Chains A and B, each alone.
Chain A
């Protein structure tokens, strides 16, 4: 059994309660045993004392959208290497997307991932199960059995369900088992051959554009069906101002719907593609600067409730191609928090709102007892130095793939220590 630990002289931030004050946390039996304001509480005998030096102590991050290559494409990323990357980025829990080979669409695979992750991972990995068998968009999977096996949400991963009738049935059936549905919205017929945001820049590059309607049309449809079914529905990610307006309207009618955003859509815009840089080929595509600003505003006003990394490891073979032929996606677990802190340092979003979207909001969606500073919860915590300057180096990433959008980027603020169940799983000093 681990000996007790006290993390003292910390700035405690608990986004769920709005707490932001100096204090200390006592960890016993892997759980948060006590939270004290000011000086440390009575420290048990033999307890290890960790001086936080005034740094922020917050709940570990919960990332709703992570792709790995295991099973099927282990050369891109294994569960273990993704967990290393997560720990280094302060992510203590992530939701694994079912787009693996084979697809996570049955109980045996859910069980496999849970056992495998428990054996090798430093952090908590929960599988999301496919909404339809093989992600083919034809027949729904066994929601009830998948939930029993340990799947935490239902999703089509990278793909988007085209069949509105099937989605309606899926939402209704998911309500039956109180399973959250997290859906990526992209209409295939409106996306067409598009590979980046439609507009003047795509036209100048001679690349086919993806109109915003490819997102807004299915988003509107999804929200109507979600409201009618009463299911817990979360739009995986939105990318443009028009989508934020649609979500804003739906939120007035129900608190059973919500939406998330990729950190990339908050930090980057289509101009980052520059001269056909395939690392910036993402899904949803990077949009115009006005859209990026609208995403930041929607986060600040609560329209967007969760931020994820959209971590999607791709190897050289899938990225070193002409832009239109390259795969979508970028790694992001290790840079998620630092990039989010850019918004805080710029004065665009306050720290509490940012951390809430990275901790308790995604945890609540999945029904997890984490993402909070709460007595009795597992001690999944991070120490953040808000002002630490550093430069992203792809060679220093823990991920097996190097497709970061932030190579060479200057950051301010990073995780310096990550705890899972009270144990240190990442220490910057190591």
Chain B
């Protein structure tokens, strides 16, 4: 009688012990902004099962064998691209990496033209990273397959926020009610936006901490509290999330120097002392040791930065699985 429930079949094939995750009702994952609390929890649960898979000697889950995944990166990122590639391959997908060189003159043209070409190759999912906010959404309107936002300008980076949330949940057992301080270049960070949206939806208490030149106007509508002083911003925090400072920003335009930035906003043991004793330290990587974070902290006992990388693969497997399963069901 339940013979026509494909989800039962796929979870049986996975061998995972967890119950079948709730269905994912989006064609694309363009941002955390499109997800509600239940959908976020569903993806995190799905990712939890993928952590198990990834720790087995045989990591293959042939659930999506024969599917084609294209990683379309207009902005170079070896880590994120590798993470999506491994995630896709563990699900059985054929993964193609495409790095598109863009000159500033014809970025837009390249985007639309490239998309039309790729769409004709009948992929099942395209993972896109682009330097312009909204570019991934624009692209998603022109293709017949699912699209995952691998980061668009300073807008969103949803899989990063999901992997951060999974990491926090594994350490703290929950997200709601936690105090999370996000520190650094908020103005230019898609990681900060996606995390603020996700943590807000999960009812965590969010804070942003940065020099005023790196705080965008209206940030108080996204973050619970806004601080320009690290000690005050970290006081009582359960989670300290550091952001990368692009070195070109510390050349006197917005921040006078790396030296001054590190003195007031770099995370060292002294500043971290303001947070709760069991606070965890996170960073989306790649890190600038000695710019936004002291190597002692980055590699210290409270750092979960390496674990974030592991969770990244699990979360991306979960996202790809959710989209490809939906595609299987809806055609």
Which A residues fall within an 8 A CB radius of B? 198-209, 211, 275-276, 317, 320-326
Contacts and interface: CB of A to CB of B under 8 A. Distances in A.
5 contacts: A200-B220, A204-B193, A206-B155, A322-B108, A326-B108
B112 A320 contact: yes
A189 to B, nearest CB: 11
Interface in B219-245: 219-222
> Contact size class for B?
20 to 34
B135 A322 contact: yes
B217 A199 contact: yes
Contacts of B135: 322
A18 to B, nearest CB: 43
A203 B216 contact: yes
Contacts of A205: 133-134, 155
B155 A325 contact: no
B193 A206 contact: yes
Contact of B132 (A198, A200, A211, A325): A325
A207 B216 CA distance: 10
A211 B109 CA distance: 29
A211 B137 CA distance: 26
Given A206-B193, A209-B217, A276 B109 contact: no
Interface string B13-34: 0000000000000000000010
7 closest A-B pairs by CB:
A200-B218, A321-B108, A206-B155, A276-B134, A322-B132, A206-B133, A206-B154
Given A320-B112, A322-B130, A324-B133, A204 B222 contact: yes
A322 B190 CA distance: 16
B217 A206 contact: no
A204 B194 CA distance: 10
A325 B221 contact: no
Interface string B148-161: 00001111100000
Given A200-B222, A321-B107, 8 more contacts: A202-B218, A205-B133, A207-B153, A207-B155, A320-B112, A321-B109, A321-B112, A322-B108
B138 interface: yes
Given A203-B216, A206-B193, A207-B154, A322 B134 contact: yes
Contacts of B112: 320-321
B221 A324 contact: no
Interface in B239-256: none
> For B107, B130, B133, B219, which residue has the most chain A Cβ atoms within 10 angstroms?
B133
B216 A209 contact: yes
A190 to B, nearest CB: 13
B287 interface: no
Contacts of B218: 198-204
Interface in B149-178: 152-156
A406 B220 CA distance: 32
Nearest to A323: B134
Nearest to B139: A322
